[in-house]
Amino acid sequence: MFQVISLYHHPRDADDFDSRYLAQHRKFVEKIPHLKHMSVSWPMAGDDDEPPPYHAVALLYWESEQLAMQALSSEASHAARRDAESFADSGLTTMFADSHVRIPFAPFGRHASESRTVMGLYRQPADTTAFNSHYRRTHSELAAKMPALQSFTYSWTRPQTVQGTPPYYLVGAQEWESEEALTDALNSAETKLAIDDLPNLRAETTMLVCRTRILV
């Protein structure tokens, strides 16, 4: 699959950003052709109450790069980009990525109004060959065993973005139906094994727990 990842930095007025995104901007984005899945997530503060690095993260997926390129050159996509200028005060980093679906997306109608997502943001490792091998063969297998997962994707970013070199090498996204399901998963033995394996990837990693709206 092909993925577009949009990282929105903290706006001056978070409530206004959220209201405009959900009431206005989503209507433009949802019209972009061939979208397979789309979510917008709001990372939550960690246990130390430090603010997360981003205000919101939007993930858009297409079945193939060809369909994505057709969609991104469409008038609907141009209209969405023009509307996105209204979010300029938040700052925006956009990355293209080659995405692997480890656990397929649940049917859209099955999603609750607000679900939960855990995102793993992995910076460029010193040894990409070792990282790729360990992530594919070991870490993704451990992460896929976390209970009650509704979907799990991991995506290698393309070397260049509109803003230059992407800040992350790989982005993982796991979705759960509810906060309760995520809490149970985080307290499981399977999750402990996945967390204990993170140092073996030898890459700086940021884990985000998010409130999520599934839009497509």
Looking at domain 2-214, its CATH architecture is: 2-Layer Sandwich (3.30)
**Segment (H or E) for 3:** strand 2-8
The residue extents of the domains of the chain are: 2-214
Q: β-strand 37-43 against 115-122: which pairing, if any?
A: unpaired
pLDDT value for 101: 95
* pLDDT interval class at 110 (50, 70, 90): low
pLDDT cut 90: percent of the chain above it: 78
- Lowest-pLDDT choice from 99-113, 151-165, 194-208: 99-113
Q: What is the mean pLDDT of residues 131-160?
A: 96
Single-letter amino acid, residue 190? E
Whole-number mean pLDDT of the chain? Answer: 92
pLDDT value for 109: 58
pLDDT value for 88: 61
Count the Cβ atoms, other than its own, within 10 Å of residue 51: 11
pLDDT cut 70: percent of the chain above it: 94
pTM higher than 0.95: no
pLDDT tens-place string over residues 4-13? 999 999 998 9
pLDDT tens-place string over residues 154-197? 999 998 665 678 999 999 999 999 999 999 999 999 999 999 99
For every residue of the chain, which 3-state class applies, written as one string? CEEEEEEECCCCCHHHHHHHHHHHHHHHHCCCCCCCEEEEEEECCCCCCCCCCCCEEEEEEECCHHHHHHHHCCHHHHHHHHHHHHHHHHCEEEEEEEEEEEECCCCHHHCCCCEEEEEEEECCCCCHHHHHHHHHHHHHHHHHCCCCCCEEEEEEECCCECCECCCCCEEEEEEECCHHHHHHHHCCHHHHHHHHHHHHHCCCEEEEEEEEEECC
pLDDT value for 163: 64
pLDDT tens-place string over residues 42-94? 999 876 778 899 999 999 999 999 999 999 999 999 999 888 877 666 678 89
pLDDT value for 98: 96
* pLDDT interval class at 108 (50, 70, 90): low
